[in-house]
Amino acid sequence: MKAAVFSEYSKDPAKVVKILDVDPPKLKSNEVMIKVESDAFNYNDLWGVWGEPIKIPLPHISGTDIAGTVTEIGSGVTTIKVGDRVVSHANLSCRTCYYCTSGREYDCSNRLVWGFQTGPLWGGFAQITKLPEVNVVKLPNDVSYNDAAAIAMVGLTSWHMLVGRAKIVPGQTVLIMGGTSGVGMVGIQIAKLYNCNVIATA
Ligand SMILES: [Zn+2]
């Protein structure tokens, strides 16, 4: 399969990111294989190729925000089937630690952001990729692959902040700082969905 690969860090991604032929990933029993239809860029894709603020595994395939079609499922997969349209949920948590089992997967002791901290050669900027069954979300037919990839990480970040932590309720006034950013734009929509009064800055 073709993938966007880099084997060294650089402040100029165009110098080090190459389209290469690499082996497709091998499926584990709890994972699904995905034919990637759409990718979005995320700031952590830049951090990855910069090698800052952390060093990530090399050679590396970036890409945390993808949408595509499931082409194969592992033997233990029960909720996703071949042909499903899915979007990535890039927060890889262990699901067994104290935090995971008390509803705080974001604080997981073993948390990795897929496509950023994972590898070598395990991210979304490829023709084919794989994710654990619990890290894909089925898409309604009226949500396009492009829209799904665009909202993947910013959507879960905004939802976590507003619904998971702030626990917004109808009638509240919500101030969205940075209303033109990805997280901000989705935050405005979530707050509106909750019938909040939204004030935004940009
Ligand atoms: Zn955990």
**Please, how many CA atoms are within 13 Å of residue 8, restricted to the half-sphere of its CB?**
5
Looking only at the bridges linking them, the beta strands covering 60-61 and 2-6 are antiparallel
Q: Say if pTM beats, i.e. exceeds, 0.85.
A: yes
Please tell me the distance between residue 132's alpha carbon and the centre of ligand 1 in angstroms. Answer: 14
- Over the stretch 43-68, which tens digit does the pLDDT of each residue have? 999 999 999 999 999 999 999 999 99
Q: Give me the mean pLDDT over the 13-31 stretch.
A: 97
- Over the stretch 156-176, which tens digit does the pLDDT of each residue have? 899 999 999 999 999 999 999
Please tell me the distance between residue 98's alpha carbon and the centre of ligand 1 in angstroms. Answer: 7
What pLDDT does 103 receive? 86
Please tell me the distance between residue 147's alpha carbon and the centre of ligand 1 in angstroms. Answer: 29
Q: Answer whether residue 106 shows pLDDT above 90.
A: no
Q: How would CATH label the architecture of 2-151?
A: Alpha-Beta Complex (3.90)
The residue written with tokens 């919500």 in the block is: 174
Share the mean pLDDT of the chain: 96
Cβ(15)–Cβ(4) below 8 Å? no
Q: Answer whether residue 105 shows pLDDT above 90.
A: no
Q: Which of 88, 112, 113, 110 is nearest to 101 (CA)?
A: 110
Of 83-87, 96-100, 106-110, the poorest mean pLDDT is in 106-110
Please tell me the distance between residue 144's alpha carbon and the centre of ligand 1 in angstroms. Answer: 31
